[in-house]
Structure 1
């Protein structure tokens, strides 16, 4: 399962929908309130303008009435110049006020798109009224009380038309303002209805989204709950050592991906346990093979030791025989001296010499046979040592194989630690197994290193034994050569003794030569004794080396026995898991 993003898509979608919904609601509310505010502001402004126009028309109406009143005050109270001037000035001022008010009203009506012709008519009538007033005032005489009646008669009734027009204009503006107010109220009601309708749509849409989000959250929560309950059961089974478990994938989302990864992790742990079991069985079998090889090597070493002991015993016998030969030759020398001093006893000494020669010949033959046996034994020792060297090399290969197995176990423990670390709390139990496997690998590595060092020592000792056996072989060959010389010498002595009876006259002349030959023989025998002593010491050293080799092999066997016990312990630990 690759790229399962169901939960994240749902959650991110939920967050996105909520943000979009909030953004839409906020934007709509902001735009709606802004539009409502603008419309309300516009309506208030229009209302204020209409109210202002109404106020302006009323103010113009009031100023016009003041103008008419000031005109009456001028006629009624303007008998004195100051009073006339005062009232007439106020009349002119109010006329200007009315004019300016009407012009301002015309401008405001034009802004509102209203018909300004009534204002133009009113301005024209007001100007005509002022002109008539101004023309009529010229007939006013402050000193003539009756003159105001003349002036009043000139302008009588001319203010009715502007006044009616002013009232009509006020009524028109009031009606227009009222009409616009009603339109704005209706439009406000329409806007309120639209706003309420939009709010209802948003409310319905929000309820639908809430239901959708609730269903989405409940579905996601149920999936998470199923995953947690299943994962709890799986972890309890894994904690009890059951590795044949497998999680069920409900949906192809993150939880399904976690379940699939957990299944792959369990499969890897199961394969790791299988490999560990196979490795422990292989280590145990290899340990047993090494123990059997060690037993064979130990047996071979014991045989070599026995053979070397036999060689040492034969060498001791050779020393005794050589000493006897030395004594015999010494007796020959004494006999020759006696022959030189007294030839009377030549016959008796010849018989003794014959017996001595016969005994020496027999001894030399026995010594030759024993030397042959010694040579064969030495060859056997060489073969055994060579075989021992070959087996030690095989042990070295087995140890190298164990080292490779140890490296694999260590690698397996590292992989198990990595997988357990990925699993977090769920892989804590497997971390303990990985640590135990790692400790076992370290102990196996230490044992194999110890075995390797012992095998190297054994190989060094074997090489020394081979060198010493080679020296023994060379010594035996030299000893064989000396025996051949001794045999030849004894043959000469025998031949001389046999001829001694016939050549008794030549005894005196030959005695000197015989004495020299006997001295040479005695010297050769002494050399042979020395060589045999050397062979004896070398054989003892070979026996000592063989004993050390046997002790080393016993240590190897002990280490392999310990390794086998540890392998069995590992098998027992791994058997706790159901795979």
Structure 2
């Protein structure tokens, strides 16, 4: 519901102020006009009273001064009284009388009053001599105002009566009847009041019409603003005010403001829709990315387990190499023992000298070839073995991770400011995946080389055993069977055993190198395992970050929906 104004409205304020000003204006004008009319009419009445007094004084002669108390019945008195009463009637006088003085008091002479209150000759006048001294000295006194008394509204004139020598014989007092003037002034005052009231009413009506025109325009502006404030605004409408004054200018400015607000609302509406669509896309991509990160985390866990298995396998290989090393030591010891024994059978081995020499040469050739082959394979055994399949899996996963990081970077760029944190995480994942791919490729190469070396070593070891089985053991059997006849060849066998001991030492050194290589490979595998664990931890952190981004994206979605709802309260098209 629309709230009413708590104080006076603009219309009422203007009406009250203008009413007060109009009342004051008409009051001032009325009073001024009335005072002017009053002055003019009083002046006219004074002039008439003065003229009437002059006319009346022409009816009196100096004989009036000779009247004494009791002369009311004399002919002179009657004549003068008749003349004065005629002048009184003709000149509209209320009272007309003559006055005389003894120098200290003033006395009535002839009083034209026809009532019982008429003063007789010699009655004392109510005003002292001092007030009338100038008149008795020859000056005429004319009252310049209307004196409202119980006897009526009067203008008093005192005019001296002169004798033949221009001496003051008496004073003629005239009270001019100004009741008509007062009545006319009262009518004028009443007319002025009526005219003022009518003028105020007409002015109020005119002002009301003017204010109504102004306030109607203000009401239109206020109505539009009220509709906007209370979510009922139609921004497509315009104020139709054609008054040609400031109100039309105000309405045009309000229309311009409404147009500007409408354009802003349209932009906000479009942007909120785009924000909602973008938020939906980001939300969906975050969900997909979260699933992919979960898959990467699962794969990293599998890789970690595979690395642990590889480490265990390498440990087993190390143990096997240790056993081989022990056996080689045992063989070396046996060779040393055989060297001593050959001294005892030197005489018995003479007969098989030629055969033993040939067998020695063959065995020497085979052993040298085996030694060279083993040394060559040992040099290659510094890479990791049996992790080729795992490195291929790592390369495949890092490829998928690179693709996921690229997609995440693209989506983060689309998200703008809100996706900066996600872009940094995606970039770090991409770098980590690239590093993992390079490391996995190196591991793959090393493991392939080690696998080849181990396979070659196994093959050559097999050949060496076969050679020993076919050559040395057969020679030993022949040597045992012909030991009685080949005593002279024992010395050659002794030399062969010395060579065999030397070869055993070289083989022991090669095994030591293989142990070092296996240790390096094991260390590399452990480092890779730690790297996989770090990747898993980063994936977990990435998952948590994506969840936080997902929450913020959902919050942005809600904000966009609220913004669209607020904009939807306005009619824009």
Query: TM-score scaled by structure 2?
Result: 0.54
Match of 1:104 in 2: 135
Contact 1:330/1:522 (<8 A) preserved: no
Shift of 1:32: 3.1
Contact 2:280/2:557 (<8 A) preserved: yes
**CA distance in structure 2 between the aligned counterparts of 1:371 and 1:264, rounded to whole angstroms:** 72
Contact 1:247/1:263 (<8 A) preserved: no
Match of 2:479 in 1: none
**CA distance in structure 2 between the aligned counterparts of 1:97 and 1:531, rounded to whole angstroms:** 160
Contact 1:385/1:465 (<8 A) preserved: yes
Match of 1:530 in 2: 519
Relative to structure 1, the CA distance from residue 335 to residue 110 in structure 2 (aligned partners, 3 Å threshold; closer, same or farther) is: closer
**CA distance in structure 2 between the aligned counterparts of 1:483 and 1:199, rounded to whole angstroms:** 132
Query: SS of 1:249's equivalent?
Result: coil
| TM-align CA RMSD | 6.4
Q: Which residue of 239, 244, 249 corresponds with 1:249?
A: 239
Match of 1:545 in 2: 534
Match of 1:24 in 2: 25
Shift of 1:208: 2.7
Q: Unaligned stretches of 5+ in structure 1?
A: 1-7, 70-92, 127-165, 407-447
Relative to structure 1, the CA distance from residue 479 to residue 218 in structure 2 (aligned partners, 3 Å threshold; closer, same or farther) is: closer
**CA distance in structure 2 between the aligned counterparts of 1:308 and 1:102, rounded to whole angstroms:** 145
Looking at secondary structure, tell me which structure has more strand per residue.
Answer: 2
Shift of 1:202: 3.9
Relative to structure 1, the CA distance from residue 316 to residue 27 in structure 2 (aligned partners, 3 Å threshold; closer, same or farther) is: same
Match of 2:95 in 1: none
Q: Which residue of 107, 119, 125 corresponds with 2:162?
A: 119
Match of 2:92 in 1: none
The answer to whether the aligner puts 1:335 opposite 2:331 as a matched pair is yes
Relative to structure 1, the CA distance from residue 464 to residue 215 in structure 2 (aligned partners, 3 Å threshold; closer, same or farther) is: closer
Match of 2:205 in 1: 211
Q: Unaligned stretches of 5+ in structure 2?
A: 1-8, 72-100, 107-128, 145-156, 343-355, 476-488
Relative to structure 1, the CA distance from residue 275 to residue 555 in structure 2 (aligned partners, 3 Å threshold; closer, same or farther) is: same
**CA distance in structure 1 between the aligned counterparts of 2:385 and 2:525, rounded to whole angstroms:** 16
**CA distance in structure 2 between the aligned counterparts of 1:221 and 1:460, rounded to whole angstroms:** 69
Q: Deviations over 1:76-119 (max 9, x none)?
A: xxxxxxxxxxxxxxxxx948989997863454328799999963
**CA distance in structure 2 between the aligned counterparts of 1:391 and 1:104, rounded to whole angstroms:** 132
Contact 2:296/2:401 (<8 A) preserved: yes
User: What pairs up with 1:505-524 in 2 under 5 angstroms?
Assistant: 506-524=495-513
Shift of 1:538: 2.2
Contact 2:381/2:518 (<8 A) preserved: no
Q: Deviations over 1:290-325 (max 9, x none)?
A: 333444454455555555655554454444344334
Point out which structure has higher relative CO (alpha carbons under 8 A, 6+ apart).
1
Query: TM-score scaled by structure 1?
Result: 0.54
Contact 1:297/1:553 (<8 A) preserved: yes
